[in-house]
Amino acid sequence: MEMITRPRRLRSSENLRRMVRETRMDPSSLMYPMFVMEGTDKVEEISSMPGQYRYTVDRMEEKLYRLADAGVGSVMLFGIPNDKDEVGSGAYAENGIVQQALQKAKQAVPNLFYVSDVCMCEYTSHGHCGILHGHDVDNDKTLDYLAKIAVSQVQAGSDMVAPSDMMDGRVAAIREGLDRNGYTNTPIMSYAVKYASAFYGPFRDAADSAPAFGDRKTYQMDYHNSREGIKEALLDVEEGADIIMVKPAMSFLDMVARVREVVDVPVATYSVSGEYAMVKAAAANGWIDEERIICEMAVSAYRAGTNIYETYFAEEVARFMKEGRIG
Ligand code: PBG
């Protein structure tokens, strides 16, 4: 059989396979989403996300140390306030839950990079990501609040803000707010390509943030669309986004690849709560090999072109990278 090119040649040993790997990763590019709640001395497991917890501020440290130890680069903080109101005032309160968590985390484990999610849905009584006008979210009114939230998070110590609300013009509004307050060097990671997705289900349990009526389809994107995602990504870069995120990850890797091609800023993708829950449920039933699935999900996100990978499995993925199992 005459055959000059035999792809199998480069697969013939573990050493060789490692040598020719196309996708190289480093734990410093991993981001871990973490939930903080009010109160003291409590760590509560999230029922739809076994192995993930809500921490009170005084109990965050144990997890932060483990993440830093594993080499994970960054943590994104989500706050779960006790009290919610129409305008989500807990999101920009000086002593709000995320503000407290940022102060504590920065002081306790300063070698991690802290990102704060800028959104209102965990803080509003109606569970929508903005200020309501009747049953609709008032885009332009919401912008002032988002800028206020971002500024208050940075004042509390946030290293980078990540707006996830999907209002039009919010990157520009947040940039202006930060600059006006002297935070010209604080980057914005925009959830630019965020789809209205059932994959967020377990998160909404965790953060108690499901909308009280309707859904998020008037602000989050329709998952039939990809050109629209490119439009969103380019718009946000123009408005000053420093990093562009695609979310969810697993069912949207086509968008990670497309966005990676059209923007010149780093690209992030967020493997969301539903992705985590599916892996955990199937693994608990003995239907899949959890560790191998985690590896494939992570590598496929990087292979699609992501530069930053946000995942509830960050600690595990960091370990697999260090062990040389992947990366
Ligand atoms: C806030 C926000 C959500 C998620 C991240 N930021 C929920 C939503 O948009 O409904 C979801 C993350 C996850 O599912 O892990 N808007």
Q: Is the CB of 115 under 6 A from ligand 1?
A: no
Q: 238 alpha carbon to ligand 1 midpoint, in Å?
A: 24
List b or e across 15-33, with b for residues whose CB sees 16 or more CB atoms inside 10 angstroms: eeeeeeeeeebebebbbbb
Strand extents, DSSP E, the chain:
30-37, 43-45, 53-56, 74-80, 113-118, 132-133, 136-137, 160-163, 189-194, 243-247, 267-271, 308-311
| CA 302 remoteness from chain centre | 15
- The residue contributing the CA closest to ligand 1 atom 8 is 200
Atom of ligand 1 nearest to the CA of 78: 6
Q: 141 alpha carbon to ligand 1 midpoint, in Å?
A: 21
Which residues are the active-site residues?
A: 194, 247
* Residue 261 exposed, middle or buried by CB count within 10 Å (0-12, 13-18, 19+): exposed
Q: Is the CB of 203 under 6 A from ligand 1?
A: yes
Structure tokens at 21: 């790997």
Instruction: Report strand pairing: 308-311 vs 30-37.
Output: parallel
The one-digit pLDDT tens for each residue of the chain (327 residues) are: 899 999 999 999 999 999 999 999 999 999 999 999 999 999 999 999 999 999 999 999 999 999 999 999 999 999 999 999 999 999 999 999 999 999 999 999 999 999 999 999 999 999 999 999 999 999 999 999 999 999 999 999 999 999 999 999 999 999 999 999 999 999 999 999 999 999 999 999 889 899 999 999 999 999 999 999 999 999 999 999 999 999 999 999 999 999 999 999 999 999 999 999 999 999 999 999 999 999 999 999 999 999 999 999 999 999 999 999 998
Q: What's 30's DSSP letter?
A: E
Query: Helix, strand, or coil here: 249?
Result: coil
pTM strictly above 0.95: yes
